[in-house]
Structure 1
């Protein structure tokens, strides 16, 4: 009998049995500890246990009435279940068990938090995908502007070299065409007034440099304007003389 009692007490769950009159007939050590926490003087009947679970003390918190989850003062969480069993002669007993689900609940909470983090990450990723076309266009526009600025710089150096070396007319025309094309592309990339001001400043500086190199005043075409050239050298380039 002692061995049976020891085995009953060593079960990993808290368990007790009530007879058909609701009187406790068998209870193991784990359930005894829990019922002492639920009710100051413990429980003797099934009704006392039900009343303690319905209105637990301040040290016990009911997390879910439907699932019958209760958190005790030491942060342990137990789930209470009950069912009716019958012995071989057919005598009914009510079995009440309480399983420690503390780790399971903690794992569920961690999983829920992880799912929330994943949801936030997915939302950010979705917004990034939605903004991807705009980001690509911005990158392409920036790359184009850098190439145009490089072309303008190359054109200035090339014009200086051609003028200093007194190159042929065809070479000078080719350099002028590259310059004009670069200015036109740069203008098209500017939409706002602020950017237009930046373009005008860039063109003005280019005109000053070209005028300095050619020995006259040069006006570069932009805004679909007809070019106004006062440099004899540039007039020769355009007219083919």
Structure 2
């Protein structure tokens, strides 16, 4: 069956198919030219010519059938073309177009072309723009276009206007820019931060400005956190320095106070020894030697002997004032200073207030809790004992050791100290 014998509906379908095939082959040629592959686009010309011939033949046959005209020589030839041949040719042309189009796309993807370069730049997460020395945009990728539009409110990229707005803070409301080295930190409304950098390039002897925009939102946030942390550390360092200065002052004051206490203790022992000598008599030479040493302390000529055993010194002091010092139990090394201070205070009270001749110290250790009980054989106190002076200072010292102190006045004087003896 020829085209001249086909129905009008068949001819219309064949004509429409030939028309669309012609458009597809023409689109393939244009695609090659746009992608910079002009020579590759030439392969679409032969099948395009075939499709146009088929379209013209079908059109002439249709014109001859719808109008009562004498067929021309071309129309007579077109009427004799086989309809199956026409259908087969269009089918082959369709497959051929698909193969040629696919090969062309694979070739474009596999090779660097202006189109592939533009697609690659647009797929980048960073903004890129190239501008001539006269301010004419040569290439602006989609990310840079978005950054410009969000900060300037205009779709038309202008490098000079963009830079002026960042310098003078004339961006749209909600956006701002901070100077960062030779560039800027651009803050957009959505909270993102972009590092904008500009540099001059020479391409084929022409000056071209390159503008880059990096998304540094996370890095900027971490830098702010680091600055806050550094400020906090600086404040801590200042506090530590102030604390160190205060501690040094306190230590100096404590050293001065300790020296005063040692001198006070030595003077107190000398006075007690003098009182005992006047009442009971004793070794006059030892008393004179003690007072000479005490006078040297007051004049600054002598210094207290801190290396000596305080308990041994207290026993000597007790003997000097006529008091027998009885120690029951073992004194832990870490508590010798505290026990010595307590013995000194109780020894003073024994001589000064109780007029006693014996001071007993019972020390026990139960599950790491050391208990020291101080008693004397002197007169019992008259009424409740008021903590002042030495006793008040002793309680403060016990509390520094995280211990407890109790004082009883009936039936006789008894002072109890409980402190943890664990290291």
User: Deviation at 1:143?
Assistant: 1.9
Secondary structure at 2:197 match in 1: strand
Give 1 or 2 for the bigger CA radius of gyration.
2
State whether structure 2 residue 211 is matched by structure 1 residue 100. no
Would you say the 8 A contact 2:145–2:157 is kept in 1? no
Match of 2:188 in 1: 72
Match of 2:142 in 1: 29
Would you say the 8 A contact 2:128–2:211 is kept in 1? yes
RMSD: 4.5
Please give the residue correspondences for 1:1-241 in structure 2 after superposition, counting only pairs within 5 Å.
Answer: 4-19=117-132, 22-50=135-163, 52-53=165-166, 54=168, 55-64=170-179, 67-88=183-204, 90=205, 92-103=207-218, 105-106=220-221, 109=224, 112=227, 114=230, 117-118=233-234, 121=237, 125=241, 137-159=252-274, 162=277, 165-177=280-292, 184=298
Cα distance change, pair 5–176 in 1 and its aligned pair in 2 (3 A): same
How far apart, CA to CA, are the structure 2 residues paired with 1:127 and 1:168? 51
Normalised TM-score (structure 1) = 0.55
Q: Which ranges of 4 or more aligned residues in structure 1 deviate by more than 6 Å?
A: none
Cα distance change, pair 67–93 in 1 and its aligned pair in 2 (3 A): closer
Higher RCO structure, 1 or 2 (CA under 8 Å, sep 6+): 1
Cα distance change, pair 144–86 in 1 and its aligned pair in 2 (3 A): closer
Secondary structure at 2:177 match in 1: strand
User: Deviation at 1:181?
Assistant: 5.4
Cα distance change, pair 173–86 in 1 and its aligned pair in 2 (3 A): closer
Unaligned runs of 5+ in 2: 1-112, 301-351, 357-423
Unaligned runs of 5+ in 1: 187-208, 214-241
Would you say the 8 A contact 2:270–2:287 is kept in 1? no
User: Deviation at 1:147?
Assistant: 0.5
* Matched pairs, number: 190
Cα distance change, pair 22–171 in 1 and its aligned pair in 2 (3 A): closer
How far apart, CA to CA, are the structure 2 residues paired with 1:87 and 1:173? 105
Could you list the per-position Cα deviations for residues 162-187 of structure 1 after superposition, in whole angstroms to 9, with x for gaps in the alignment?
456531332343344456556x469x
Secondary structure at 2:135 match in 1: coil
Cα distance change, pair 123–166 in 1 and its aligned pair in 2 (3 A): closer
User: Deviation at 1:60?
Assistant: 1.0
Could you list the per-position Cα deviations for residues 156-208 of structure 1 after superposition, in whole angstroms to 9, with x for gaps in the alignment?
444455456531332343344456556x469xxxxxxxxxxxxxxxxxxxxxx
